[in-house]
Amino acid sequence: MPRSCAAAAWRRATSCSMARISPGTDPGPRGHSSAWRSCAAADPLGRAIGRLTHITEPGLVDLRPTRGQLDGSSLTGGGGGLSGGYSKIPPHSLEAEESIIGGLLLDNLAYDRIADKIGADDFYVERNARIFAGMAQLSAEGQPIDVITVSERLKKNGEITKIGGLSYLVEITERVPTAANIENYASIVAEKSLLRRMIRVSTEIIENAYSSAVDSSEFIDRAEKQIYEISEGARDSGLQRIDTLVPKAVDNIDELMKRKSDVTGVATGFVDFDRLTAGLQPSDLIIVAGRPSMGKTALVLNIAENVAVPARLQDGETPPGVAIFSLEMSNEQLVMRMLCSQASHDMADVRRGSVPTRQYSDLARAAGRLGQAPVYIDDTPALSAMELRARARRLSRDPNANLGLAIVDYLQLMRGNGEDSREQEISSISRSLKALAKEIRVPVVALSQLNRQVELRSDKRPVMADLREWVTGDTLVMLAAGRRVPVRTPVGRSLDV
């Protein structure tokens, strides 16, 4: 049979992928010519399996799973494997992984010391990941962690044979003398996992960049988001059992109970508003809606001042940073407004230059306070949601900014993505801003201008239907028409002020 026909028949018989390699490769095991490559394949859990491949027929590379992968000792790409044509094994430390598993089996209390540093998907070796996941389940249930309990849990999960049986657990405990350095081992595993995720994301970015159908602005936003998530330690959580989420919720409640103030979020400085909302909560999207000249910008600037220039600060406390994206007014106009507010001066007098000399010192003191405030203003017109999100992410990564609040003034001036209608564009923008609030974990206040339909009604008070294009939002603040009214008890999460 001709060589090419034999190769084709062999490929059909084994049903595996083949790749031609160039001659002259380095000698491999048993003196045969071999080409060792790192590649990736999906296991039933959807994770990448990094493996080495070798030549089983001259000129061909066998991409089938090895025996070790079939018996459960395969290597995972936990935190992101390699894809496509790279010739290096993903970063990992088998010794550190085994030392963690062995240390946990020796010291029942060691799990709490590393639980916040690593997860099962940070392990490179598949069976080590399965063992650690079983340990996490035991810890969540308040059960002890040792060789017997872990082996029983793995039997219950149907995974004991996949990790090599009880003998593998015993073997690891014999190789690891102590759990004293387990935190250092966890740091090593976390670092290697981070590098693997970086490799995976970088590979995806390169592959997407070669795609002719990709939109450049959308591509940049997605790429930056992926890098941002890695730098922040964020991951796609996927489906999670509630037993892993309840302890976190209880811890949050405990922290809230320890606070002396009823305001658990970012205080706006408006007492009634803070009483009803408990402050602006992290990851919330707050919509401030009203007709033109109803005071939307004045309200959010007052909130920005109260957040970034608080009246009182405890010793060593620093105020949260505020990012203002102003698509309507220039930064000079905004700063002028804030200066007049801080100095309690009439804006009209300042514009005319008719401020009395004796009152000018008030402006000077206000300028000193405001100049020290962590306020960041971007007055770029017609920003797209992707551009705004990218700039907010960069600021949130700056530790000196200490970002605690983001303000967008206002939504209808943002550039859309070319949807069929403006209503669909605003809906897309609202979803994007909600996603931003979740990403950077700060409240985002977005201003929205109501249409003229409000003025055609006998009761000119805004209603929810006036914002039908807003498909998401956690708190809605609508500025009532024409008169000053106190803050009312909210219906749902909507406030009239």
Reported as a pLDDT band with limits 50, 70 and 90, residue 287 is confident
Strand-pair partners of 378: 325
CATH number (domain holding residue 391):
3.40.50.300
| DSSP three-state, residue 51 | strand
Task: Examine the domain organization and report whether 280 and 413 are in the same domain.
Answer: yes
Among the ranges 178-187, 248-257, 421-430, which has the highest mean pLDDT value?
A: 178-187
- Digit-coded pLDDT (tens) for 69-79: 334 444 444 44
Total domain count, the chain: 2
CA angle 484, 479, 301 (to 5 degrees): 95
- Rounded Cα distance between 44 and 375, Å, is 49
Reported as a pLDDT band with limits 50, 70 and 90, residue 99 is very high
Reported as a pLDDT band with limits 50, 70 and 90, residue 219 is confident
Q: Judge whether residue 123 has pLDDT over 90.
A: yes
- Rounded Cα distance between 274 and 436, Å, is 23
Is residue 211 included in any domain, yes or no? Answer: no
- Digit-coded pLDDT (tens) for 152-189: 999 999 999 998 889 999 998 888 888 888 889 998 99
What is the reported pLDDT for 236?
Answer: 52
CB 406 within 8 A of CB 284: no
CB 70 within 8 A of CB 89: no
Task: Examine the domain organization and report whether 425 and 332 are in the same domain.
Answer: yes
Q: Judge whether residue 64 has pLDDT over 60.
A: no
Is residue 119 included in any domain, yes or no? Answer: yes
Kindly report whether the global pTM for this prediction surpasses the value 0.75: no
Supply the DSSP string of 198-255, one letter for each residue. Answer: HHHHHHHHHHHHT-TT--HHHHHHHHHHHHHHHHTT-----S--HHHHHHHHHHHHHH
Among the ranges 316-320, 330-334, 415-419, which has the highest mean pLDDT value?
A: 330-334
Percent of the chain with pLDDT over 70: 69
Residue with tokens 């005319």: 352
Task: Examine the domain organization and report whether 191 and 289 are in the same domain.
Answer: no
Reported as a pLDDT band with limits 50, 70 and 90, residue 324 is very high
Task: Examine the domain organization and report whether 152 and 277 are in the same domain.
Answer: no
Reported as a pLDDT band with limits 50, 70 and 90, residue 457 is low
**Is 84 buried (19+), middle (13-18) or exposed (0-12) by CB count in 10 A?**
exposed
Is residue 475 included in any domain, yes or no? Answer: yes
What is the reported pLDDT for 61?
Answer: 34
Q: Looking at 147, 171, 195, which one is the last position of a domain?
A: 195
Supply the DSSP string of 183-214, one letter for each residue. Answer: HHHHHHHHHHHHHHHHHHHHHHHHHHHT-TT-
Residue 18, phi then psi, degrees to nearest 5: -125, 150
Compute the 3-state secondary structure of the chain and give helix, strand, coil in percent, each to the nearest 5. Answer: 45, 10, 40
Is residue 422 included in any domain, yes or no? Answer: yes
303, two tokens: 């909130």
Range with the poorest average pLDDT among 59-63, 68-72, 322-326, 339-343: 59-63
User: Comparing C-alpha atoms, which of 263, 332, 251, 330 is closest to residue 303?
Assistant: 263
CB 71 within 8 A of CB 194: no
User: Comparing C-alpha atoms, which of 49, 101, 91 is closest to residue 73?
Assistant: 49
- Digit-coded pLDDT (tens) for 43-52: 333 333 333 3
Is residue 208 included in any domain, yes or no? Answer: no
Among the ranges 49-53, 156-160, 274-278, 388-392, which has the highest mean pLDDT value?
A: 156-160
Over residues 78-96, mean pLDDT:
67
Q: Looking at 174, 195, 216, which one is the last position of a domain?
A: 195
What is the reported pLDDT for 484?
Answer: 47
**Structural domain of residue 71, as residue ranges?**
16-195
Strand-pair partners of 125: 75
What is the reported pLDDT for 490?
Answer: 47
- Rounded Cα distance between 128 and 125, Å, is 5
User: What's the mean pLDDT when you consider all of the chain?
Assistant: 73
Cα-based torsion angle of the residue sequence 497, 376, 293, 455 in order, rounded to the nearest 10 degrees: -60
Over residues 424-440, mean pLDDT:
84
What is the reported pLDDT for 239?
Answer: 63
Task: Examine the domain organization and report whether 279 and 133 are in the same domain.
Answer: no
Over residues 433-449, mean pLDDT:
88
Is residue 7 included in any domain, yes or no? Answer: no
- Rounded Cα distance between 327 and 346, Å, is 24
